[in-house]
Structure formats: structure tokens, C-alpha cells
Amino acid sequence: MPEDRTDYDIVIHNGTILTINETFDIIDNGVVCITNGVFSRIERRRYDRPLPTATHSIDACQGIIMPGLINTHTHVPMCLFRGLADDLPLATWLNDYIFKVEARWLNSENVHLATLLSCAEMMLSGTTTFCDGYFFEDAVASAVEECGMRAVLGQGIIDFPAPGVPDTEKNVDEAAQFIKGWKDKTSLITPALFCHSPYTCSEKTLAKARRLSDETGALFQIHVAETQAEVTRCRQKHHLSPVLYLERIGVLNPLTLVVHAIWVDDADIECMAKRGVRVSVTTESEMKLASGVAPLPAFLDRGIAVGIGTDGAASNNNLDMFQEMGFAARLHKAILLDPTVLGARQVLTLATMGGAEAIGLAGEIGSLEVGKKADLIIVDTSKPHLTPLYDPFSHLVYAASGGDVRVVVINGRIVVKNRKLQTIDIEAVMDAVDDLAHRIASLDET
Amino acid sequence: MPEDRTDYDIVIHNGTILTINETFDIIDNGVVCITNGVFSRIERRRYDRPLPTATHSIDACQGIIMPGLINTHTHVPMCLFRGLADDLPLATWLNDYIFKVEARWLNSENVHLATLLSCAEMMLSGTTTFCDGYFFEDAVASAVEECGMRAVLGQGIIDFPAPGVPDTEKNVDEAAQFIKGWKDKTSLITPALFCHSPYTCSEKTLAKARRLSDETGALFQIHVAETQAEVTRCRQKHHLSPVLYLERIGVLNPLTLVVHAIWVDDADIECMAKRGVRVSVTTESEMKLASGVAPLPAFLDRGIAVGIGTDGAASNNNLDMFQEMGFAARLHKAILLDPTVLGARQVLTLATMGGAEAIGLAGEIGSLEVGKKADLIIVDTSKPHLTPLYDPFSHLVYAASGGDVRVVVINGRIVVKNRKLQTIDIEAVMDAVDDLAHRIASLDET
């Protein structure tokens, strides 16, 4: 047997494991072993036996070892416009700022660059998987692969000329091409489609996209019931709420990820539960845009699979899922005047297994269990704001932030080590984004 | 002239200065000079002249140079109970957990230790001044001095036997002793008093405390209208709201800091404005405890001086004022469905000048202006989540977190340098708190 023979690719030890399995097992002095990108052994350390040997051995320094966070709704290239315009009415923000800079500045190269930046931000704050919808999604996908992240990526479909898709007649075909191109290409990327909304896509487009989703098994993402105005217009036009309109035209099924779902009533929620749709709630962004407050506790009461997400960095304005957990956990307590709503463990579950279920990857990720894909993070708890530690769930939801993540493993690859990115040159990316932003800010037309 | 003669104690350069002065001047390529603990020069760098010489020269690395944040409401020793019990009704949380562990574990030594931990957390997250109310405040004060922080500290007054004050007859006298002991002792500490609430202090106690405040000029802190139940009970007992009850017995004047003020109506707000009281709003903690939402925008509309604060770490569960800004900025937009409410610049002002006004130190701190006490922080913006940078106010409120603070100066002393505390041994403090927490968790009675 050669001398360098090791038992595992990676062994992580000396930490508290939050499995987020069905029984929420917590393993003190845990050991996690990874082989070929998959968890091969998860157990309490036996001090009467040597630590398993591995190519890479990682000391968790008594921190928390847990599943990577899953961000169920993003538009990752929009970090280019982070803080460009805030505190404005939604229509002003979109029409006078975002749509203009998108039309002017989006191209394959800039989308690729911006995606590298967003992936870096997400990995450094403990997110291992995200679900995105935007344009030039091909460029998003290649950047995600370069970073070594996991993602469900949806090419955008909207019934007006869009960045990269000038001909609206071809928008669903473009999405079909994207799905075909990335299907089974890499285990990191699951192609999907992203219909912008029921008010920007025609019934014909939605039906065509639905067929594409059903034929390919691709996730069908769509913004629904985001604002009161949208619901009013939908009722005027279709005599139905957005949810019931989508139900009537056959869009809703378990492959549908309904994003936002803020202005929904009991009949809508009933329908969503019956159809088995999944929901993504983006609390921070929805608050900042003054869209309203989605009835997240009601979704959970009805057994709907819910994940949480950050939305794009232009409306959030960061991609830190720890912050997102903190907002989701606190907001509904304040609104319902009930401190027992959305406890810490439940919220951490939304950000891990809940997210996996919402985006259709519950069999592969979201918990630390033997056989699942090896996506995990280590949170450094030896910090003043995380001292003392009585309850790890409480700390992760109410006290920690993305900056406390020290190690990130995705698909069995160490992508962040001691808070340093291992897969891309982030300094070069930031410099390039700064240069581009300088031109965007100066409205340079050259 | 000796060779080592320098112009200033500290010179900070190569950053963008947010002054938060009356005209909100922003100075690119700014230079801040400090002499004897006071700002002596603040200006744009003239590249045709040499940088002023100083004992300590600090390169801001193109980050943001701004006033230190001011946390207007804390119970700093409560970090001992951070995460001990969450997601519970307020009465259960207080009666079954907090009051019990306070009665068992609070003493001068533990309060001193816990204060060191909270000060470390606050300094590392950019807070330079805080306003506290608790028991054993003498021990708090000595720990604050040891850390080199600035604080307004109020000895607790409550009409039942309290930690360190078993005889309720002497509670105001104890506060008087505390004020006398710390008045003019150090420029870092301003002694104050802290009446727990109108329902836990008798009219006689409140009147006596009011006299003490008026005679000494000490800030009179009091929790008011925190829960619906408090208002109901007050109306039953006094036929007045808590605010109007305090008005009737003469407690309200510009030395009063009303904390929470969640369940107040128009008449209450009118009275608060008329009396010139100051208000502290603790959004995150109020949300987590499900107390409700204070009408912060209405206070500002009426010209009331408002600061924001974290409350204690047992109910927040951290002391990060960046998070607190993020919550205050987003919550009212979601509640009022108006994205223009509480814009980023206004919220940053609440956390700096607003806080200084709320705690009676507007002449000394809260902005970077020549003659003011030299309290400042440098925020490192060369991070993925702060890239690109179009608007520093937006980044500080919507994207940054306490972990982005690289340098902290308080009273002209560098207390944090490259994210390392310079004044206390934080590793030793964390170890000691961990040991104590282990005993608290095991309910060790030894």
C-alpha cells in the first residue's frame, strides 16, 4: 500500500455538527468525511481511535459545521447596480434607473464579471447554492462554474425586448436552448427558466414556458403578487388574483417556484398548497422596496415548501443569507405580535433544507447526511458577538453574520479557507467591477 | 527643534470623510488630524503639500472615515445571557429565565467581566459611545474606562429588591452615589440614572429620581410604552397612557430619554414633542420580543430627537449598530408601504448625530467637526459585498456590517487597529465568559 494512501478526500473535525436532518441531530465533537464530492461518514469523534486520514484535514476550531446556505432567489449580475439608486418608489427605481442601466450595460462580458463578484460575496458569507433568474444566463452559468458554486439558473423570459433577447418571439426558445446546453453538463449547475411575471409575460408565453418546464423537468421561476398594484391590475384584466390567474392557465405545479407572494389571500394560499408549488420569500429586499410583507408563517402552516432568498443586490443591498435569516425571524414576530413565530431552528431550516426543497434539490443538498453532495460551511464562534454560546441555532439566526464563515466546501471542493477565496482572483474582479461602475456612474456612452 | 516633533497626535488620510455636519459634507481624499483627543483639522488633502506629520499616521485605504456609531440603549452585562432563551413570550422570558439568572449570577465581578465583552463587541463593530442602564453600574463604569470607550451610564432604579440594591428605599440614593462618584471623573463617562419603567417605579420614586436628574443634570432614562399590556394596565390604574401619566407627575423634560415608545398615540407624541424629551428606538430587539413597531417616522416628523440602539444582547442578540440601522431603515418602509421613508442618509444620521442629541452629547460627539471629541471609525470598503460603491450612505445602511470596521478611535486613542482590539485582552475575556456561561447553563449553584 503506498504511503500516501488516505481514507478520505476531506476530513473535518473538532466542531459541533448541525445536521439539519429529519431529527435535527446535533453532534458534538463531530467528524465529517468527504469522498468524491459526497458525504461518506458523519459521526461523533471516537477519541479511542485515530482521526481518519485524508488528503485535506480541516480543524473546525470548535466552531459550527453545518449545511451551506441556500439562497432561493437572486439576480446575481445586478450587483453591478448595488446602491446606484435607493429609497425610491418601485416604478421610479425600475424605469428611471434599473431598466436604463440594464439596457445600456448588460452584455455577456459584464454579466460574467458581475456574477463572479456575486458568487464571491455569497461564498464568503456561507451560501453554497443559489437560484437565479436573469438574462445572458449562459454567462452567469460559466462564471458560476468557474467559481465552483452550485446553482439553479433560469434564463429570463419576458414579453418585451430584453438584454440579449431582442426578439420576444424567441424568448422561450432561448430558454430552451439554455436548458439544453447546461443539462447534465456539470453537477454544479441545474438549468431552469425564469418567467418574469404574469403581467410581463402573455398567457401564450406562460403556457409555452410551462410546457418547456414539464418536458425538461426544469424549475419554472416566476415573480407573483409582489405589489398591491400588480394584484389590482390583474383583477381588472383577468377578474382573478395573480395566483388564481396562473392556476386557471395551468402554470402552477410542483415545478413552479413562486417568488415573493406578498399580496395573497386565503384562496391563493389554498390553491398554492393544493398545487404543491414552492415559494421563495425575500424579506429584506421586499421591505426595502416597500412591497409589503409576505405571509410566510401562513405558507408554513399550510405545508407549502418555502425557501428564503436575498433577491438582487440592487434592491437588498447585499447577498448575506445570515442577515436574511435575521430579518425573516424578527419581522413576523413584530407583525403578528407573537415572539414564538418562526423560531431560530425553523428559520435555519428554511435557509437550508427548506431552500433545497423549494428549488427541487432536497434529495441532493440542504442537510449533512451520508450520500448527499458535500456542501458545508464552518462558522467561527470564537468571537465576542458569538460569546457565550448556549444554543447554536439562536446564534446563527440572531447574532452571526456572513463574516463569521471561515470555511466553505462545495461539492467536496474547498472554495473558502480561512476566509480566503480559493477559486477566483477576487481582487482582480473587484478592480474590474470598480472600473465598470465608474463608467456606469458617469453615464459614459463610449 | 527636536527631530521627532510632529504636528498632530494622529493623522488619518486616504479615505472619504462623511462629516455628518449640518450640511452633510463629504470630503474625498480627506485628512483628519487629532490633537489631545480632539479633532484639530479636517480637510481635503492638498497633494501639493506634504501630509501633516503625526505620532500615528493611519492610511484609510480609500475606505470611509466617519463618526463612531452611538448606541442609545443597552444593558451591556446582559451579553452573559445571549441566546440563553429565545422565541418565548416576554413574561416567560423575563420571569422564568432572565430574572432568575440575574438574581443568581449578577455581582460586581461578573458585571465587570460581561461589560468588557460587550465593549469589545461594540468597538469591533464601530460603536464608540453607548448609553446603558443596569445594576452594579459602578462595575460597568470601571470596565468601560478600562476599554477606553465613551458611555452614558445609568444606575438602575426599580421598586423591588434588585441585584446589588436589596433595599428599595435606597434605590435613588444608590443612583445619586453613582452619579456623584463618576461626575467629572473621566471625560469618557457621563453618569446618569435609569428608572426601569412607570410600572415598576412608584410615583414617589419617579419624582425623587426626577429631582436627582434636575439637580445633577444627569440623563433620566426610562422604558415607556413597550408593550400593549403595559398601556392597558397604566390606563386602568392611572386613567392615562404611560406618557401622559409621566407628564402628569412631572417626569418629562429634555433630560428624559424615553426608551421604546412603541404603543404611543398622537396625544402622547404631541406631549413628547412639547416637553422636548428624547427617544431611543431599539428596532431589532423590539421585533424579536414581538413588542411591536415604534412610530419612528412620526417622531422625526414632530422634530423629536431620536437615537437608535440595540437593547441588551439577551434580546437582540448582538450589539451591531450596522444591523440596527439596516432594520430601522427597512422596517418602516414595509409597514408604511413607502420606500422613501427613512432614507439611508437619515438613518446614518440617527446612528450618529441623532444618538448624540438623544443622550445629551450633541456638543461633543456625533459628527466629524473641528473641536469635537475625536471619536471616529474607518470602514473598509474593498470587499465584495461593498463593491461597487456609488453612494457611501447606502452602503453603510444597506450593505455593510460591523465586521467591515477596520479602525476605531475614541477620545483620540486608537482602540481598534486592523480589527484587533488594542485596549483589553479579548481572548482572556471570552474564555472567562465561556467558563461562567458553562456554570450558568448547568445551573450550578456552587
Q: Are residues B349 and B225 in the same domain?
A: yes
Q: Check residue A358 and give its pLDDT.
A: 98
Report the complex ipTM: 0.96
Q: What is the pLDDT of residues B179-190, one digit of tens each?
A: 999 999 999 999
How close B117 gets to chain A, by Cα (Å)?
6
Q: Check residue A94 and give its pLDDT.
A: 85
Mean pLDDT of all residues in A382-393: 98
Q: Which residues contact B165 (CB under 8 A, 6 or more apart)?
A: B135, B156, B158, B171, B174
What is the phi/psi pair of residue A218, to 5°? -80, 145
Nearest to B333 among A290, A329, A441 (CB): A290
Sign, Cα dihedral of A145, A355, A82, B379: negative
Q: Are residues B351 and B404 in the same domain?
A: no
| Residue B438 domain-assigned (yes or no) | no
Cβ–Cβ below 8 Å for B334 and A388:
no
| Residue B168 domain-assigned (yes or no) | yes
Q: What is the pLDDT of residues A11-42, one digit of tens each?
A: 999 999 999 999 999 999 999 999 999 999 99
- pLDDT band, very low/low/confident/very high, at B443 (cuts 50, 70, 90): low
**Mean per-residue pLDDT over chain A, rounded:** 96
Q: Are residues B59 and B77 in the same domain?
A: no
pTM of the model: 0.97
Cβ–Cβ below 8 Å for B402 and A401:
yes
Cβ–Cβ below 8 Å for A83 and B394:
yes
Q: Which residues contact B147 (CB under 8 A, 6 or more apart)?
A: B115, B116, B119, B120, B123, B415, B423, B424
| C-alpha cell of residue A87 | 429609497
| C-alpha cell of residue A150 | 452550485
How close A91 gets to chain B, by Cα (Å)?
11
How close B242 gets to chain A, by Cα (Å)?
20
Cβ–Cβ below 8 Å for B390 and A437:
yes
Cβ–Cβ below 8 Å for A288 and B402:
no
Q: What is the pLDDT of residues B339-362, one digit of tens each?
A: 999 999 999 999 999 999 999 999
Q: Where does residue B184 rank: exposed (0-12), middle (13-18), buried (19+ CB within 10 A)?
A: exposed
Cβ–Cβ below 8 Å for A88 and B292:
no
Cβ–Cβ below 8 Å for B290 and A338:
yes
Optimal mutation site among B74, B87, B347, B348, interface A, most CBs of chain A within 10 A: B87
- pLDDT band, very low/low/confident/very high, at B2 (cuts 50, 70, 90): very low
Cβ–Cβ below 8 Å for B121 and A385:
yes
Q: Check residue B4 and give its pLDDT.
A: 56
- Which residues in chain A have Cβ-Cβ distances shorter than 8 Å to B71? none
Q: Are residues B254 and B349 in the same domain?
A: yes
Q: What is the pLDDT of residues A289-305, one digit of tens each?
A: 999 999 999 999 999 99
Cβ pairs bridging A and B (under 8 Å): 219
List the CATH number of the domain containing B219.
3.20.20.140
Q: Check residue A4 and give its pLDDT.
A: 57
Question: Is the pLDDT score of B446 beyond 80?
Answer: no
Q: Are residues A73 and A191 in the same domain?
A: yes
A156, β-bridge pairs: A194
**Mean per-residue pLDDT over chain B, rounded:** 96
Q: Which residues contact A79 (CB under 8 A, 6 or more apart)?
A: A114, A117, A118, A121, A312, A313, A314, A319, A433, B387
Angle at B433 between CA B430 and CA B435, to 5 degrees: 110
Cβ–Cβ below 8 Å for B317 and A399:
yes
Q: Which residues contact A411 (CB under 8 A, 6 or more apart)?
A: A37, A148, A150, A187, A188, A373, A374, A375
Percent of chain A with pLDDT over 70: 98
Question: Is the pLDDT score of B3 beyond 90?
Answer: no
Question: Is the pLDDT score of B1 beyond 50?
Answer: no
CA nearest to A389 within chain B: B83
Q: Are residues A157 and A178 in the same domain?
A: yes
Q: Where does residue A107 rank: exposed (0-12), middle (13-18), buried (19+ CB within 10 A)?
A: middle
| Residue B365 domain-assigned (yes or no) | no
| Residue B2 domain-assigned (yes or no) | no
| Residue B326 domain-assigned (yes or no) | yes
| C-alpha cell of residue A218 | 426544469
B303 contacts B357 by C-beta, under 8 angstroms? no
Q: Are residues B210 and B254 in the same domain?
A: yes
Cβ–Cβ below 8 Å for B395 and A120:
no
Q: Please tell me the distance from the alpha carbon of residue A366 to that of residue A70, in angstroms, as a whole number.
A: 7
Optimal mutation site among A398, A421, A436, interface B, most CBs of chain B within 10 A: A398
Question: Is the pLDDT score of A1 beyond 70?
Answer: no
Report the SS3 class of residue B379.
strand
Q: Check residue B18 and give its pLDDT.
A: 98
Q: Please tell me the distance from the alpha carbon of residue B255 to that of residue B214, in angstroms, as a whole number.
A: 8
Q: Please tell me the distance from the alpha carbon of residue A301 to that of residue A297, in angstroms, as a whole number.
A: 6
Q: Where are the beta strands (DSSP E) in B91-139?
A: 127-134
Q: What is the pLDDT of residues A274-292, one digit of tens each?
A: 999 999 999 999 999 999 9
Q: Where do we find the cell 461518506?
A: A40
CA nearest to A117 within chain B: B384
Report the SS3 class of residue B402.
helix
Report the SS3 class of residue B19.
coil
Q: Check residue B90 and give its pLDDT.
A: 80
Q: Where do we find the cell 417616522?
A: B297
Q: Which residues contact A91 (CB under 8 A, 6 or more apart)?
A: none
- Which residues in chain A have Cβ-Cβ distances shorter than 8 Å to B120? 384
How close B314 gets to chain A, by Cα (Å)?
10
CA nearest to A124 within chain B: B384
Cβ–Cβ below 8 Å for A120 and B384:
yes
Nearest to B339 among A290, A404, A440 (CB): A290
Report the SS3 class of residue B229.
helix
A111 contacts A135 by C-beta, under 8 angstroms? yes
Longest dimension (CA), chain B: 75
Starting at the earlier edge strand, list the strands of the sheet with B305-308.
Answer: B69-74, B127-134, B150-157, B189-195, B220-224, B256-260, B278-281, B305-308
Cβ–Cβ below 8 Å for A289 and B385:
no
Q: Are residues A42 and A116 in the same domain?
A: no
Mean pLDDT of all residues in B326-334: 98
List the CATH number of the domain containing A384.
2.30.40.10
Question: How do strand B376-379 and strand B64-67 relate by DSSP bridges?
Answer: antiparallel
Q: Check residue A91 and give its pLDDT.
A: 81
CA distances from residue A303 to A67, A110, A147, A223, B248 in whole angstroms, order as listed? 22, 40, 35, 20, 52
* Total of domains in chain B: 2
Cβ–Cβ below 8 Å for B388 and A87:
no
Question: Is the pLDDT score of A443 beyond 70?
Answer: no
Cβ–Cβ below 8 Å for B292 and A391:
no
| Residue B32 domain-assigned (yes or no) | yes
Mean pLDDT of all residues in B272-284: 98
Q: What is the pLDDT of residues A120-170, one digit of tens each?
A: 999 999 999 999 999 999 999 999 999 999 999 999 999 999 999 999 999
Optimal mutation site among A317, A425, A431, interface B, most CBs of chain B within 10 A: A317
Q: Are residues A132 and A267 in the same domain?
A: yes
| Residue A194 domain-assigned (yes or no) | yes
Q: Check residue B374 and give its pLDDT.
A: 98
Nearest to A89 among B288, B339, B430 (CB): B339
What is the phi/psi pair of residue B92, to 5°? -65, -45
Cβ–Cβ below 8 Å for B287 and A333:
yes
How close A124 gets to chain B, by Cα (Å)?
9
Cβ–Cβ below 8 Å for A326 and B323:
yes
| Residue A1 domain-assigned (yes or no) | no
- Which residues in chain A have Cβ-Cβ distances shorter than 8 Å to B441? 390
Q: Are residues B116 and B28 in the same domain?
A: no
Optimal mutation site among A86, A105, A341, interface B, most CBs of chain B within 10 A: A86
Chain mean position to CA B39:
22
CA nearest to B331 within chain A: A287
Q: Which residues contact A406 (CB under 8 A, 6 or more apart)?
A: A61, A63, A378, A379, A380, A416, A418, A419
Q: Please tell me the distance from the alpha carbon of residue B131 to that of residue B353, in angstroms, as a whole number.
A: 14
Mean pLDDT of all residues in A312-316: 96
Q: Are residues A174 and A87 in the same domain?
A: yes
Q: Are residues A190 and A306 in the same domain?
A: yes
- Which residues in chain A have Cβ-Cβ distances shorter than 8 Å to B289? 333, 339
Cβ–Cβ below 8 Å for B441 and A402:
no
CA nearest to A392 within chain B: B83
Cβ–Cβ below 8 Å for A334 and B286:
yes
Q: Which of A358, A378, A412 is the last residue of a domain?
A: A358
CA nearest to B437 within chain A: A388
* Residue A75: count of CB within 10 angstroms of its CB: 24
Question: Is the pLDDT score of A248 beyond 70?
Answer: yes
Q: Please tell me the distance from the alpha carbon of residue B287 to that of residue A365, in angstroms, as a whole number.
A: 31
Q: What is the pLDDT of residues A61-74, one digit of tens each?
A: 999 999 999 999 99
Question: Is the pLDDT score of B408 beyond 50?
Answer: yes
Give the domain extent around B62. 8-67+372-421
